[in-house]
Structure 1
Amino acid sequence: MELKNSTILITGGTSGIGLEFVRQLTYLDAKIIVTGRNLHTLEETKKRFPKAHIIQSDVSEPESIERLYAEVVQQFPELNIMINNAGLMRQIDLQDNAMDLLSINQEIATNLTGTIQMTHKFLPHLKTKSSAAIINVTSSIAYLPYTIAPIYSASKAGAHAYTKVLRLQLEDSNIKVFEVLPPGVRTNLQNHWELPPPEGRMMDVEKMVRDAIDGILRDRPEITPGLAKTVKVLGRILPNTLIKYGHGEFKKLKQLRVTS
């Protein structure tokens, strides 16, 4: 897939993986449109990357997507690539009744529903381009449930299944469908966590995105940077062992909450 001189929309592009995509794709001379919920972080992104275009938008809200679509197709009719990157990950105890229904649904609304709604809205526009792509950033957790982050696990597994179906349904179209399944990556996604992830298995965000872009340029439909390859293989041959290993972190979180 050619990225140079493309016009690329990146959701959740003000921090972490999304911001690194902005940085590296800018060096490839792509025109970048960055979306995010927070106007302040959007403005900070604009200061760092003056050539980037910023639009405030929330992928979890259908009305916000409608407004985003109208603005983008009017200002950037050449848009041909979309990166569904916006994500939310929380450490949740499913027996904690303090969370209301709206709160418990936040990750589904962002990670899964947001990806589906963005794709559904922009798909007709992308079909008008001679060369187009949809790039969904999911997670290697899509291969195996991670008990310390149950709603995130469910949403990313759903996004993984959706992406595979989307790719098949679009197989005879001009739109290429890519999926990036990162392992644990050092970003601010974990800043609010009570129990930090094991440092030894976290991947540097710059290398992760570099590997992802390399996979896109090579037309690899499913891209598994770093330890994601290992998770994919072990998820097939030793799924229960790997799930139990990850469940140890949830037990540590439970103990931490008891003693704090």
Structure 2
Amino acid sequence: MNITGNTIFIPGATSGIGLALARRLSERGNTVIVGGRRVELLDEIAAANPGIDTVQIDTTDAGSIHSAAQTVLATHPSLNVVIAMAGIMRPEDWTSPAGFLETAEATVTTNLLGPIRLIAAFIEHLRTMPDATIMTVSSGLAFAPLRVTPSYNATKAAIHMLSESLRLQLADTSVSVLELEPPAVRTSLMPGQETSDFAMPLDEFVTEVVELIEAQPDATEIQVENVKFLRYGEARGDYAQVVETLNRRDPHAR
């Protein structure tokens, strides 16, 4: 992915990593469209960030994704990058007789069905562009599980394998698949994560991500240094120690 000259749609970018990345990509000379559910929040973002466009979208709703895709393509026919940013992370207790299933279902709908439907809505258009990118967002927890978020871990592992598989299918097209693998980052994704000593400062994370994209335009995975502890535990042969350390150090490690 080139770092500049793109038209980029980022649903789920009204806060946290998504909004910070949208701002930084806009500053790098890209046309950026931010998507989110709340119209008033989108209006605030547009007012505070001249040059960033907004579109209402609920990535848990297939109809909303279809409608938003039509709007984005009508107003920005040069769209060549889609970043599937939207996601939720909620604790679940599967040892409890009730309370976890609703959370698990919501997590799968948002974190897995949402990106699948989003990619499906844009894939034919992206294939018509001379240079296009689908950026998925997995997690360090796709490679080492956090005890309190089993469905989150599972959906991010699925996103990793979806990315790997789509890359194979799209190998002979103009569409590349780039997987962003965040570690714990200081956002409001989980309670207490914004102030966690274990989590990476948001600005530092986004700076490193943009630098990696610029330095490695042909990369298939974007891995900041902080995520490699989780990403490569199995390859290093210390997976069990990684899992133990992860679950001992911080309950909110992304």
TM, length-normalised to structure 1: 0.89
What is the rounded CA distance, in whole Å, between the counterparts of 1:117 and 1:214 in structure 2? 29
User: Are 2:176 and 1:176 equivalent residues in the alignment?
Assistant: yes
Task: Establish whether residue 152 from structure 1 lines up as the match of residue 149 from structure 2.
Answer: no
For residues 4 and 198 of structure 1, what CA distance do their matches in structure 2 show? 32
- Where structure 1 has 5 or more consecutive residues not aligned to the other structure, the ranges are 254-260
2:225 corresponds in structure 1 to 226
**Shift of the alpha carbon at 1:5?**
2.4
Equivalents in 2 of 1:83, 1:207: separation in Å?
20
Read off the aligned partner of 1:83 and give its amino acid letter.
Answer: I
TM-aligned CA deviation for residue 168 of structure 1: 1.2
CA distance in 1, matches of 2:234, 2:194: 20
Deviation at 1:106, TM superposition (A): 1.1
SS at match of 1:202: coil
Question: Taking structure 1 as reference, are residues 136 and 196 closer, same or farther at Cα in structure 2, changes over 3 Å only?
Answer: closer
**SS at 1:211's partner residue?**
helix
Query: RMSD across aligned C-alpha pairs, in angstroms?
Result: 2.1
In 2, are the aligned partners of 1:182 and 1:226 still within 8 Å (CA)? Answer: no
Find the counterpart in structure 2 of residue 241 from structure 1. 241
Q: Is the 8 A contact 2:187 2:193 kept in 1?
A: no
- 1:105 partner SS: helix
Between the aligned residues of both structures, percent identity stands at: 31
Output one character per residue of 1:164-211: Cα deviation in whole Å (capped at 9) or x when no partner.
Answer: 111111111111111110110001212xx2x65883321111221222
1:258 is matched with none
Distance 2:195 2:145 in 1: 17
Q: Does 1:133 align with 2:130?
A: no
> Secondary structure in 1 aligned to 2:189?
helix
1:72 deviates by: 1.2
Aligned position for 1:257? none
Stretch of structure 1 that moved more, 74-83 or 2-11: 2-11
Cα deviations by residue, 1:226-252 (Å, 9 ceiling, x for unpaired) = 3211222223312222223334479x8
Pair 1:58–1:96, CA change in 2 (3 A): farther
Change in CA separation of 1:196 and 1:34 when aligned onto 2, cut-off 3 Å: closer
Structure 1, residues 128-172: CA drift from partner, whole Å, max 9, x if none? 000100111111111111111111101101101101111111111
Distance, in Å, in 2 between the alignment partners of 1:196 and 1:24 is 22
**48 and 226 in structure 1: CA distance in 2 versus 1, 3 angstrom threshold:** farther
**Would the aligned equivalents of 1:146 and 1:247 in 2 still touch at CA under 8 Å?**
yes
Give me the whole-angstrom Cα distance separating, in 2, the residues matched to 1:63 and 1:124.
Answer: 18
Task: Tell me the SS of whatever aligns to 1:189.
Answer: coil
> What corresponds to 1:62 in structure 2?
62
Distance in 1 of aligned mates of 2:115 and 2:91: 21
Structure 2 residue aligned with 1:203: 200
User: Which amino acid letter does the alignment assign opposite residue 109 of structure 1?
Assistant: T
Measure, in 1, the Cα distance between the counterparts of 2:207 and 2:220. Answer: 16
Alignment TM-score, normalising by the size of structure 2:
0.91
Corresponding residue number in structure 2 for 1:84: 84
Which residue pairs with 1:105 in the alignment? 105
Q: Match for residue 121 of structure 2?
A: 121
The secondary structure found in structure 2 opposite 1:161 is helix
